[in-house]
Amino acid sequence: MTKQINMDQQLVYRFGGGWADGSQEMKNLLGGKGANLAEMAGHPELQLPVPPGFTITTDTCNAYYEAGRHFPAKLEDEVMAALERIEELTGKTYGNVNTPLLLSVRSGARQSMPGMMDTVLNLGLNDETVQGLIAQTNDPRFAYDAYRRLIMMYADVVMEKAAGIPPVQGKGIRKLLDEHLESIKKARGFQLDTELTEADLRQIVIDFKAIVKREIGEPFPEDPMAQLWGGIGAVFDSWNGKRAKEYRRIEGLPDEWGTAVNVQAMVFGNMGKDCATGVAFTRNPGTGEHKFYGEFLFNAQGEDVVAGIRTPQPINEASKNSQSENLQTLEEVMPEIYAQLNNYQQQLEAHYKDMQDLEFTIEKGKLYILQTRTGKRNGTAAVRMAAEMYQEGMIDGPTALMRVNPNQLTELLLPRLDAMAERAATPIAKGLPAGPGGAMGKAVFSSEKAVELRQAGENVILVREETSPEDVDGMYHAAAVLTAKGGMTSHAALVTRGWGKCCIVGCNGLDINEAEGYFTTPDGTKVKEGDYISLNGATGKVYLGSMPVVDVDLADNEAYQTLMGLVDETKVLGVRANAESPADAANALRFGAEGVGLFRTEHMFYGKGSEKPLYLLRKMILSANRKERRAALKELFGYIKSDIKKTLAVMNGKPATIRLLDPPLHEFVPHDRQRLEELAEELAVDVSILEKRVLALHENNPMLGHRGVRLGISYPEITETQVRAILEAAAELNMEGRQALPEIMIPVTCSRNELQDQEKIVKCIYKEVCASLGVDEIPYLFGTMIETPRAALRSGPMAEIAQFFSFGTNDLTQMSFGFSRDDIGGFLPIYLEKGILVNDPFQVLDRRGVGELVRLAVERGRAQRPGLKTGICGEHGGEPQSVAFCHRIGLDYVSCSPFRVPIARLAAAQAAIQHPRQ
Amino acid sequence: MTKQINMDQQLVYRFGGGWADGSQEMKNLLGGKGANLAEMAGHPELQLPVPPGFTITTDTCNAYYEAGRHFPAKLEDEVMAALERIEELTGKTYGNVNTPLLLSVRSGARQSMPGMMDTVLNLGLNDETVQGLIAQTNDPRFAYDAYRRLIMMYADVVMEKAAGIPPVQGKGIRKLLDEHLESIKKARGFQLDTELTEADLRQIVIDFKAIVKREIGEPFPEDPMAQLWGGIGAVFDSWNGKRAKEYRRIEGLPDEWGTAVNVQAMVFGNMGKDCATGVAFTRNPGTGEHKFYGEFLFNAQGEDVVAGIRTPQPINEASKNSQSENLQTLEEVMPEIYAQLNNYQQQLEAHYKDMQDLEFTIEKGKLYILQTRTGKRNGTAAVRMAAEMYQEGMIDGPTALMRVNPNQLTELLLPRLDAMAERAATPIAKGLPAGPGGAMGKAVFSSEKAVELRQAGENVILVREETSPEDVDGMYHAAAVLTAKGGMTSHAALVTRGWGKCCIVGCNGLDINEAEGYFTTPDGTKVKEGDYISLNGATGKVYLGSMPVVDVDLADNEAYQTLMGLVDETKVLGVRANAESPADAANALRFGAEGVGLFRTEHMFYGKGSEKPLYLLRKMILSANRKERRAALKELFGYIKSDIKKTLAVMNGKPATIRLLDPPLHEFVPHDRQRLEELAEELAVDVSILEKRVLALHENNPMLGHRGVRLGISYPEITETQVRAILEAAAELNMEGRQALPEIMIPVTCSRNELQDQEKIVKCIYKEVCASLGVDEIPYLFGTMIETPRAALRSGPMAEIAQFFSFGTNDLTQMSFGFSRDDIGGFLPIYLEKGILVNDPFQVLDRRGVGELVRLAVERGRAQRPGLKTGICGEHGGEPQSVAFCHRIGLDYVSCSPFRVPIARLAAAQAAIQHPRQ
């Protein structure tokens, strides 16, 4: 990061009038918005009508912070020169009483952070220039409205927030001014702002200034230059505002980027009926369909569209939805302007070769393009656009693959409401389908409550009038978001789209009483906080009660199939699934898994149908001696074998790694007195004896205790039983004409000798099973988890015996950091907040520490045994960054939950594009 | 290990008659005993009168096992040839009826394993050759006694043990034969074996053979060749006997060594009054004094001396003790023989340049040397001999240093009975002072009980009639051993001497009733199992009750001072001590520590005088918010500062590493209801609130939880308070004219960012303290523990900030292996038993795994910061093998408990000799 400014460094880049000294390649320096404004204005293929302006670089922002929030000395000259150029192009002069130029000041980071930073519009207005504006526009009402908007924003953004003073009266100046506005409307008996007269607005300007002076202790600055510098400083300051920092943390964006500032001549969509403002996408961002899509409002400022206060009109037929189907389209009302806009959007998509999200304003019949950027899209749309653009020949295969964020696939795989259940139910409300998938959860009305209940393990749906950046945390924790107001481009829609989260917006009839904790729907249903509701994010329908949520079928999704076809041609890394049942295994195959990477034998003792095996396991665990233990294992054998056999049968021809019993035995014994008494009765022993045995199993640090291979070494009969079950199951399947490929995996090892001990047992049982079933051979592999740091270090000797390594990166992370995953709640949030860790290492593999152990183990293992098979089966196996790392260090495969297999596959393909293996 | 035998490989080496084809250099092949027999017989400087014989190599033993306990084919020819040579030299013939040669067969591993393997004597006797022996010796009583001894040993060692059949009648054939012998004596009214007549013995031979036939189902073999091969096989088999394996495990000897077999012509010390047998040491093995020392018995076999059945006679004045002061010496009775023996011992010590332990037999006035080996000695003796031999010019400094096993120093440092307390008490019994130091504990009468009570945390003293190899486990677990029988060369004395353990033997009047669990002393005191007794291992006095045990003063020990002088000239590695109080620190200095390597700040909250600080700490921990916490810390500050200041004052001019608070806070809160209620009252909060806070602190795996630097990051005020205390204490001491060198150490780190976070606090407090005390600087270092594997891997970046690393090898071991030290009880014993681990990695640093992390961290840390100071402060810092490793990888120092400082220093000197640093 350049933090010091050189004397010859350009701090300000200009654009407009068919020219610019910046371009889209300069995103890091000019921010996304600034770079695109320069590109649109200056690129010979485009030269679109962009209001002239200039961009102050991100380097300037960093220098500003480095200097303790002071502007670099040479900034002023460059800003003044750039301002003069705007004045030349517009024929207006900033601060001039007769031809006043009005400016906007907006943030613009390298990557869009919607609504997270501040903006000030209408800069340049004061008691004198407002007269000039009236003279220019002949619209005093408009001029005073613009003036009162400036005061409101400026007081909020510059005078209160950027100055860092506490919110006045505890609620902030903006709310205070809003309340005053509302009180005037109430006094006049008005509903809408637009009903306010020129006189009202003139008075409001006077009132606002008085309130600002009284509450903040400083007057609103009349000096236009003071306003401009105040605005620029406020944008810089908002880079480190609470909301922006929170957003960067969630999105994993670095603090060092800084923001650019875009200063631009104002154009107005709210100067009358021949004015409008809108937002459009070159393709449908919700479905990916190749149709121009957008919404606009007549006589409005851009923020009105995004804020969702009025229902916007569709720009064309393709943009109509259930709410707007009866509204007039821009195409109908202003056909020439629409044709021009449509022409521009085609130019833009062809130029950028990606879907563009653009903002436009029509000022007195003249179209301006205010912004273009690569449009956010949900997963469904991302996949469709990538596949179709590839098929259209606009982009090549690798580009198509890189266009989809692997995590976005979640959406396509997202559970949906059960169709049968949905058909049987009547929706209580209907809104706009802003986010994909289906969801159910308890209704909550505040961000705080959403976080609280979620952390208590509840599924929640956040229900809000409309959402604002303050709600981000709650939205993040909620399973879905439901808003009463807002359109498809509202805050709620944008944010949830980015996350691939179920969302319904603009659910008009919803009457939310946050204070008393309920909402009512148009049909009179009353839903209290904590009541379950279900949402269909694809149709916008809201149901009362908790509805079953089911998986989707990808077979019909042509775009998905096209994309995954490219994935399979491209990727090198194998992708397996963690699966412990025939259903899981079938699911895994459906999602494209190439094998089972982790079958946990202990799984059969959990959940439905586990009563009898669990009872036998407990009997085994609480045995007094080896003889009793052998007897219990003998009874258990059939269950274990049948469990394994069923999954091996499904995987027919594909390998399945079966991990021998791992958890400390203590996990399986009942801990409450009653269950223990029952067990004692069943086992016909005194409960006090059982209590003693349970107590003897207790450990201070069970994660580092008597588990994994340590069980197999202490109780060889446990290994024997499991190995016999695996080999018999495999041999029988082979005899039945199927192909079983079991891989026997020893957990929690730390030395070669442990493997040698267990290998002896396996070889011995192998001979016995071959003999007893009369077969010559049973194909199998013998290998180990690498999940202790020592195992990673000693992987050379271990590979003398192990034919494969599977990295258990969960445990490896626990032991490398010394973090108990169950106990990190006490400090990890602070670590993330302070930036001591960038990611939760249990979510994203720590490449520098844990990753080094993995890399080193692969290297040493392969040096010992060149054909050593390596994979990972920790939860990182389905996390794209971690998958990319696994590709880079040359693992053979990753294994993850079936549901994440497509994500891992795409991530693997992207890794292969970015890091081709030799 | 050579396990396969080549055709040209020599399996048998011969000695005797002033010649040998082996030598002392061939210990690995011939075992210690065999190599020394060859040396004594064949080396031109010696050519001592050794009974002729031959040695079968250890390779043969390994080949025997490799072949499933079958002798290599070519062994027979070599044995027969060697046997012929013995026959030539002795003029007797093995198995010949007229001039029968008798043979002994003994084990002989690379290192002596006293009593752990088997021996058979008098081989070659049968119903015919016994007549020849009678004719040769004219002593039928002797001949039949030899014959019955052979049957007894052979039945036990060859027919029962080596054959692997269960002990007959559950007690074993030897015991059965013994009982028969006793019954005959009883019937005759005899006390001693020697009272048995020729006729008795002849009958006993007949009876023995019948009993053997009946109980074992096979006859005693009359064929001398069958006897010889049976004996050889039995010795090989005894290498893997239970006792031998157990001993090797405790001593850390490899199974792969194998044992040699020594076959030798019998000479008899029990052929009459002109016969004798004895054991002697070239210097006193208990004190190290340079005087020939030994014991012997007239008319006895060698085993009689070691078994301690009769009280042996001293060989000279210098060998007299309280029991033998009135007995005649060998010097008095056989002056020529003594002179000859004395001459030989001088030759042997001069030749081997070390103290020799030799066995001799006098057969009808002719002296034979049966064995020589480097004599075992206790620590006191080892130090004295090393120092004196160095001063005598016999050995050089490095040799002197290598002569003392660092662990043996324990003895010199061993606590002794408090002299005042001892003077005030009257001994209840007195025995021979066989092992050094003082000890107190509960009297127990069986090995099993000793193990059981010790594992329950009790201090025990094992009291036995005499000890045998079956008692080894109990002896190991006992604080001391007390036996009623046996001399200074008895089993108990030999074994405890090797361990440097307190031991009193031959405590004659002791009447032990094992069955009823008590013993009585000559003065009528009755001591029941579980009663406390105290032993003075230096005087042999036994006291009733538990007597205080105190430290010793090394200042007076000239030999120790000489040796440690050599140590300090030689070693490179620094040695510090772990100390948390002025007393500890003073002790550390006394033992030669060069600084404090670990001062645990939490120590002040444990033990005596900790009530008030602990109360304040609890108040801090259970604070509701930062404000309350700061208030509690403010109160605590004075205690912390004074605690640290006292130790820094003692260390004046030497560095002291102070570790900030490490344990999870949960460790400090009261867990029982009553204490909690008291605390709630003191703190004036509801107990239910406290309970909630305590509950919130609970962790599943506290070892991997909210501890170490994680506390300092979550609660910066804790770091602030401690750092302020350290810096103020140091600054004040410096102002008082002392020199405080504190090193602030951050525990349980895993990343550079953690250190950066804490460093900021330290720097900030540093400025404040300098300002408030008006000083310009306070010398200190800032560094970190390296105790998570990730910290070791990321040591490069960490060294950007840390000025020193101190390896916390306890935690590093826990996390590398995934072994919770508190929970290894469930599996570690099995790991050691099965040989999966050679050592407990918490006792001996795992050089291959954990050690690699240490090595790598040093390398990476130094690459980043060339002057980086490195040390270890885990418990391995006082373990010789681990210290040697620390030297090799170039650490600056080790730190251990004050008591182990001399051990670490000597180990460091030895490491410097064996691995000179460049």
Angle between helices A673-683 and A687-697 (to 10 degrees): 120
Residue B810 known to bind ligand:
yes
Calculate the CA dihedral of residues B106, B108, B114, B120 and round it to 10 degrees.
-10
Q: Which residues of B touch A704 (CB under 8 A)?
A: 701, 703-704, 814-815, 818-820, 823
CATH code 3.50.30.10 for A415-550: yes
Residue A219 burial (CB count, 10 A) = 11
For the segment B680-706, the average pLDDT, to the nearest whole number, is 85
Chosen for mutation from B823, B828, B855, B856 (greatest number of chain A CBs closer than 10 Å) is B823
Give B 849-878 residues with CB within 8 A of chain A.
849-850, 852-853
**Does the annotation mark B275 as catalytic?**
no
For residues B478 and B461, the answer to whether their CB atoms sit within 8 Å is yes
Q: How many CA atoms lie within 13 A of A721 on its CB side?
A: 23
pLDDT at B2: 46
Write down how long chain B is.
Answer: 918
Could you say which of A503, A873, A886, A896 is catalytic?
A873
Of the candidates A67, A24, A114, the residue with the CA atom closest to the CA atom of residue A491: A114
pLDDT digits (tens, 9 = 90+) for A489-526: 677 887 776 566 889 988 878 889 988 999 999 888 99
Q: Which residue of B has its CA nearest to A837?
A: B753
R_g over Cα of chain B: 32
Q: Please calculate the CA angle A572-A574-A579 and round it to the nearest 5 degrees.
A: 165
- Distances in Å between the alpha carbon of A497 and those of A210, A410, A471, A483? 42, 12, 15, 14
Q: Residue A808, annotated ligand binder? A: yes
A1 has pLDDT over 50:
no
pLDDT confidence band for B497 (50 / 70 / 90): low
Of the listed ranges B202-211, B425-434, B547-556, the one predicted with least confidence: B547-556
pLDDT at B306: 65
Nearest CA in chain B to A848: B794
Q: Give the per-residue pLDDT at A735.
A: 96
A contact residues 77-96, partner B, Cβ 8 Å cutoff:
none
- For residue B837, which residues of chain A lie inside 8 Å, CB to CB? 751, 753
Domain with residues B82-265, CATH architecture:
Up-down Bundle (1.20)
Model ipTM value: 0.78
The sign one gets for the Cα dihedral B114, B119, B122, B124 is negative
Question: What mean pLDDT comes out for the span A57-70?
Answer: 94
Task: Check B849 against A794: CB less than 8 A apart.
Answer: yes
The answer to whether the annotation marks B657 as part of a ligand binding site is: no
Contacts of B703 in chain A (CB under 8 A): 700-701, 704, 818, 820
Q: Chain B partners of A752 at a C-beta cutoff of 8 Å?
A: none
Task: Tell me the CA distances in angstroms from B531 to B131, B442, B480, B505, one per residue in order.
Answer: 56, 5, 14, 19
Mean pLDDT of chain B: 91
Does the domain made of B276-377 have the CATH classification 3.30.470.20? Answer: yes
Query: Any binding-site annotation on B821?
Result: no
Question: Which of B850-868 are b and which e, b meaning 16 or more Cβ less than 10 Å from the residue's Cβ?
Answer: bbbbbbbbbebbbeebeeb
Characterise A689 by phi-psi region: left (phi > 0), alpha (psi -120 to 50), beta (else): alpha
Q: pLDDT digits over A177-190, tens only?
A: 999 999 999 999 98
C-alpha A583/C-alpha A540 separation (Å) is: 31
| A823–B849 CB contact, under 8 Å | no
| Lowest model confidence (mean pLDDT) among A118-132, A350-364, A577-591, A610-624 | A610-624
Nearest CA in chain A to B791: A817
pLDDT of B821 over the 90 cut? no
CA distance B712 to B602: 14
The first and second tokens of residue A853, run together, are 């152990």
User: Does the pLDDT of residue B20 top 80, yes or no?
Assistant: yes
- For chain A positions 773-802, those within 8 Å of chain B (CB to CB) are 787-790, 793-794
Two tokens at B667? 């460790």
A761/B contact by beta carbon, under 8 A: no
Total residues belonging to chain A = 918
Q: Please check if A811 is assigned to a binding site.
A: yes
Taking the C-alpha atoms of residue B701 and residue A701, their distance in angstroms, rounded to an integer, is 4
Dihedral over Cα of A85, A86, A92, A94: its sign: negative
Lowest mean pLDDT among A507-511, A878-882, B51-55: A507-511
- Longest Cα–Cα distance of chain A, Å, equals 104
- The whole-number pLDDT of residue A891 equals 97
What confidence score (pLDDT) does residue B675 get?
Answer: 81
CA pair distance B240, B851, nearest whole angstrom: 32
- According to DSSP, the residues that pair with A432 across neighbouring strands are A505
- pLDDT, tens digit, 9 for 90 and up, residues A813-863: 999 999 988 788 778 888 988 889 988 898 899 999 999 999 999 999 999
Q: What are the domain boundaries of chain A?
A: 82-265, 276-377, 415-550, 571-664+699-914
CATH superfamily of B571-664+699-914: Phosphoenolpyruvate-binding domains (3.20.20.60)
**Cβ within 8 Å, pair A816-B788:** yes
Q: Which one of A753, A754, A831 has the shortest CB-CB distance to B713?
A: A831
Q: Residue A835: its chain B contacts at CB < 8 A?
A: 753
Contacting residues of B for A751, CB less than 8 Å apart: 836-837, 849
Do B834 and A757 make contact, defined as CB atoms within 8 angstroms? Answer: yes
Res B1 pLDDT > 60: no
Indicate yes or no: CB of B700 within 8 angstroms of CB of A700: no
Nearest to B818 among A815, A817, A846 (CB): A815
Pick from B732, B729, B734, B760: which is nearest to B746 by CA? Answer: B760
For chain B, positions 694-713, list CB contacts with chain A under 8 A. Answer: 699-706, 710, 713
- Listed residue (B530, B560, B533, B556) closest to B544, CA to CA: B533
Q: Is A595 annotated as a binding residue?
A: no
Contact with chain B for residue A757, Cβ under 8 A: yes
Query: Closest-CA residue in chain A for B755?
Result: A836
Does B818 contact A852 at a Cβ distance shorter than 8 Å? no
What mean pLDDT do residues B243-272 have?
89
Higher local confidence (pLDDT), A237 or B421: A237
The answer to whether the CB of A140 falls within 8 A of the CB of A147 is: no
- The verdict on a CB contact (< 8 Å) between B701 and A820 is yes
Q: Which residue in B648, B654, B588 sits closest to B905, CA to CA?
A: B588
**pLDDT for the residue numbered A424:** 82
User: In this complex, do B789 and A794 lie within 8 Å of one another by their Cβ atoms?
Assistant: no
* Partners of residue A719 in chain B, C-beta under 8 Å: none
- The DSSP code for A138 is S
Is the CB of residue A547 less than 8 Å from the CB of residue A426?
A: no
Between B846 and A675, the higher pLDDT residue: B846
- Residue A452, marked binder: no
Task: Name the active-site residue from B61, B873, B886, B896.
Answer: B873
Residues from chain A contacting residue B701 (CB–CB below 8 Å): 701-704, 820, 822-823
Q: Residue A820 and residue B704: Cβ atoms within 8 Å?
A: yes
Best mutation target among A455, A828, A836 (most B Cβ atoms within 10 Å) is A836
Q: How many CB pairs under 8 A join A and B?
A: 170
Q: Which of B61, B275, B491, B503 is catalytic?
A: B491
Question: Is B706's CB within 8 Å of A823's CB?
Answer: yes
The pLDDT of residue B307 is above 70: no
Give pLDDT tens digits for B753-786: 999 999 999 999 999 999 999 999 999 999 999 9
pTM, two decimals, is: 0.79
Q: Using the beta-carbon criterion (under 8 Å), do A815 and B811 form an inter-chain contact?
A: no
* Mean pLDDT across chain A: 91
Confirm whether B503 is a catalytic residue. no
State whether A788 and B818 contact (CB < 8 Å).
yes
Per-residue model confidence as pLDDT tens digits over A86-114: 999 999 999 999 999 999 999 999 988 87
pLDDT average, residue stretch B108-134? 91
CA gap B757, B710 in Å, rounded: 11
Tens of pLDDT, residues A265-300: 999 998 888 999 999 999 998 889 999 999 999 988
